[in-house]
Structures are given as C-alpha cells and as structure tokens.
Chains A and B, each alone.
Chain A
Amino acid sequence: MSDTPIYEIENLRLSFPDMAHKPLFGAAPRVEILKGISLTIPRGDVVGIVGGSGSGKSTLGRAMIRLLEPDSGTIRFEGQDITHLGEDALRPLRRKFQMIFQDPMSSLNPRRTVGAIIAGPLRLQGFDRVSQRVDQALDHVGLPRSFRSRYPHELSGGQRQRVGIARAIATEPDFILADEIVSGLDVSSQAQVLNLLDQLVKELGLTLAFISHDLSVIRRLCRHTLVLYRGEVVEYRETQALFDVPEAAYTRELLDAIPLPDLEQVWV
C-alpha cells in the first residue's frame, strides 16, 4: 500500500479552446497545452515542476488535482483512476489533495476572517473539532492564534501566504500542490516559506509538487525536478544530478538565466 506511487500520470493531453479565433458558428479551435506528459511521483517525494510561461506547468498542476479535466491520458492518484471522475465522485477525495495558490491576495476571500478561511475545507469535508484543527494549523505555520479574527488585508504578503499553507494542510492531505507560491515574495519571506514547507513535509509526511519558474528556489527543497517546455517533458531527474549536469539545452538555458549575487558570474 505504501509502495503505490501517489501519482501515476500517463500521456496526459489537455487543450483549451482558443476564444480569440472562434468562428461565429461552431466550436473554437483548440490550443494544446499539455502534449502527452508522463510521470510518476512516489509517496513522500518533493518534486519541482519548472518551466517558463507557456510551458504548461500550472495547467499540469491543476489537471493533477482535477481542477481541469484532461482530454486524454490517465491520472492515477494512489492507484485510483481520477482522470474523468465527476465532481460528486471527486469531492470525498478532495481532502487528500490540496493546493496552495500563487497570489495570496486573490486566493483568500477578502470578506472572510483567517479563521473562517482555514476552517472552510474542514467544514466542507465534515471534520470534527474544527476550531482545534484551525489552531493546530496556525501553530504549524508559525502564526499566532490571535490571527484567526484578522482579515487578509490586515496581513503582510508573507503572512497571507502562510494562511494559504495553513488552509492546505488543515485537512491532513496526502499531497499538496504549491503553484508559484514564492514568486511574489521578497528574498527573506521566500526563505521563510520554503523552510516552512520543508519542515512540514517532514513533520506531516506530505508529498509535495512545487511549481516554479525559478530553478534557484527548487534546489534546496525538491528531490526530483521536472522541466517542462511548451507542454512537453524536457527533463525529469534527481535534482542534484540535474543541477550538476543538465542534459537538456532548455534546462541549461534556465540555469544560465539566473542572476546570482556574484559579480564574477558570466551572465550577459
């Protein structure tokens, strides 16, 4: 049972209708975003999903937690085929895979208190002792319990992001998808959030998929790295190996683009 990989994805394809070129009558032409992605994520792994804009990394993440339905291919979560399950069948599964969003400003309902935001998924999934669990979640992310009554606009960017993390871990999921969660943060908040995630993965035995366009934040956190380019897998290896000897040209391009705080770096 614990040997079943948490995710087995085979030949995943997903397209969107191109509304800009829609004829008056009839369906819009499809733009293919994911062009046959296959990967396996073992339980307990931390995998980084990296690519530039247009690479399909966000789409892949959202397909994995079934916010989107793929056109073809299969997604197995803990052995179960969830590729085309309807919302009603997915709902009870939803407590097992959660997501942390990029923009903490838009991912927290501005009209709800922090406490209500974290309690939301708990209530929906029918958990007991909701109040206690909310407190525990806040403790885990290092926020004071008194923040329960605050509104999102009363918190800083880093704090809001932590509320997002608290909400995701509250239902004790097996898997968490983190979609560009540090992209808008400054260096110090970034480090704090990444350290927090690292710690939570170990403490709570989570499997984590970390989407980012920036390879430099991935190194410390992720055991494996998946590099995407235009909807296709370019490279999928152990992070260490990938950084030491990048095989794909695109991976090298991504690495070279990172500006290091070092005047000696040959960069231009």
Chain B
Amino acid sequence: MADARGLVKRRIGMRLWLSGGWLTLLVLAAIFAPLIAPQDPLMQDLFGGRMPPFWEAGSDAAFPLGSDSLGRDVLSRIIYGARVALGVALIAGTLTCLIGSLLGLIAGYFRGWPDMVISRLVDIWMAFPPVLFAILLIAVMGTGLTSIIIAIVVIDWTRFARVIRAEAMSQGAMDYVASAQVAGRKRFSTMLAEILPNVLPTIVVLLTLEMGIAVIVEAILSFVNLSISTDQPTWGSMIAEGRLSIHQAWWVLVFPLITLFLTVLSFSQLGEGLKDHFDPVLR
C-alpha cells in the first residue's frame, strides 16, 4: 500500500541556523583570535582608557566596541574570552556527558545491583549544594581551568545519570529489546546497539544544555575571581570589572554580557534543533 509516510522530510529550521550560526562564528573567532582580534587583549594604554564603542563620539575605530578602564580593547578581550568559554564548554560538557550517560545507561538497562549502587550514589551526590561543592573543590585543588572543568564534571554528571537512567529504563521495557535478547545478543551489546541510539536525542539535548551551563559556571567563578588567575580575559571577569565602571563605561559590562547570553541561548536551542532534526519518528 503506497502512502505518504515515507515522503515527509525534515528541513533545517530557523532555530538550527541561528544557534548553529552563532556558535560557529564563536568557534571560528576563538580559533583565529590572533588573526582577527583588532588589538592585543592584554595591552594596556592608560591614556586610551574608557573609549566608547565606534558609533559614539570620542571613539577610535581601532577599538570597535570601546575600551575598558585600563585601555584594553573590549572586542579583542571578548574574542579571546571565547577561547576560555568554549574550551570549558567542550571539555567539561563532553566529559560530564560521557561519564553521566554511561552510568545512567548501565543503571537503567541492567537494573539490579548496578542500578542500586549508581542510584544511591546519585542521590547522595545531588544532596550536596552544588555551588558550595564547587567552591570547596576549588579551594582544595586551587584555581585554574582544570579545576573548573573537574568541578563541573564531578558535580553535574548526576544530571545526565538521572535522566538517561529513566530513558534507558523506558526503552529497556520495549519489545525490541526483548527481541534482541531472543535473537541472542549479549546484554552489554544490546545496551550500546539498541538502546543508546534511541536515547541519543536526549543525550544530545542534555549535552548542549550542559555546555551552556559550563559556560555560565565558568563565568560565575571568574566573576568571583575563582577562575584562571592570570591576566587572560574571561567574560565573567570582564563583567565583574565592568560592573565597577558601569556608569562611566557601560560597554565594558554590556557587550560581554550579551555575548554570554547569546552563547548560552544558542547552546540550548542547538540541542533542541538537533533533536528535532535527527529524530526519525515523526509526531
């Protein structure tokens, strides 16, 4: 019986274009920072401090988004700051995803004592207040990007584990899983070959969400000066500095803030868009 079921195709939506576009831009900016940044982000020029963005009077075209109180170029610092943000997002996000998803899959599919152990672990872990936990960890490990990444992974893997466990459980109850067992597939192989592909859309959404969260966490930590201790610009520290001179030089706060906001938004929308796009089951 011929019907239209096979003909409906998924088009790439606006959501995917916009979020993907912004993130691609950011990635390229981060990679090619030395080539495209108008100035050296660390170069101070006390005589050129607090210059406004290019469309206002008293600005300098070489400093398109203005300069901060120490004369450093805002745009260049934002571009270099992207390196930190994206680095943390990618590494912390991926590690959290891998660890959390694997444990969630095992708990949800195998049930029994692996589930008991992992679930209890998740419950106990999640009882710690995350911010406190992060600060504690950093106090012990010292500041720096590695510490931040470790802190994020150590705290957030539970988010993945919980959700993926639930998905794995519901997929595991499906007859196609029983059918794989009837056909003779080993259990671990069933988990990877049959359940994982069906759980993948959720993992993708969580991963992009996690990346957004990682960006925010890094920004918060650098806002309170617990992030990298060198002069390297981060959006969070720029926001912290900008806060002090908000009346005299609003651009120092606003532009990194907007960039941060757009980046986190793009991550979450990217996840939603990808999930919609790759899910073959319509409706």
Contacts and interface: CB of A to CB of B under 8 A. Distances in A.
A110 B198 contact: yes
Contact of A95 (B175, B176, B179, B184): B184
Nearest to B283: A153
Contacts of A136: none
A109 B182 contact: no
A153 B280 contact: yes
B180 interface: yes
B52 to A, nearest CB: 54
B6 A94 contact: no
Given A95-B184, A111-B280, A153 B179 contact: no
B35 interface: no
Contact of B5 (A67, A102, A155): A155
B245 to A, nearest CB: 54
A4 interface: no
Given A111-B197, A120-B183, A121-B184, A106 B174 contact: yes
Contacts of B281: 110, 153
Interface string B218-244: 000000000000000000000000000
A125 B184 CA distance: 7
A106 B176 CA distance: 6
A252 interface: no
B280 A110 contact: yes
Interface string B165-186: 0000000001110111111111
Q: How large is the interface on B (under 10, 10 to 19, 20 to 34, 35 or more residues)?
A: 20 to 34
A147 to B, nearest CB: 10
Interface in B83-116: none
A91 B182 CA distance: 9
Given A156-B1, A156-B3, A65 B182 contact: yes
Contacts of B280: 110-111, 151, 153
A156 B6 CA distance: 11
Contacts of B187: 87
A106 B281 CA distance: 12
Contacts of B174: 106-107
B181 A120 contact: no
Interface residues of A, number: 32
Interface string B185-205: 111000000100110000000
B282 interface: yes
A124 B183 contact: yes
A232 interface: no
Contacts of A65: 182
A107 B184 contact: no
Contacts of A125: 183-184
Interface in B59-102: none
Contact of A98 (B182, B185, B186, B197): B182
Nearest to A117: B176
B176 A107 contact: yes
A103 interface: yes
Contacts of B183: 94, 98, 120-121, 124-125, 167, 171
Contacts of B181: 67
Interface in A75-99: 87, 90-92, 94-95, 98-99
Chain B CB count within 10 A is highest, among A92, A110, A155, for A110
A154 interface: yes
Nearest to B7: A154
A91 B190 CA distance: 14
B6 A150 contact: yes
Contacts of B180: 120
A120 B180 CA distance: 8
A7 interface: no
Sort A-B residue pairs by CB-CB distance and give the 3 closest, nearest first. Answer: A121-B183, A107-B175, A94-B184
22 contacts: A67-B182, A92-B184, A95-B184, A98-B183, A99-B179, A99-B182, A101-B175, A107-B175, A107-B176, A107-B178, A109-B176, A109-B197, A110-B280, A111-B198, A121-B182, A125-B184, A151-B280, A153-B5, A153-B280, A154-B6, A155-B5, A167-B183
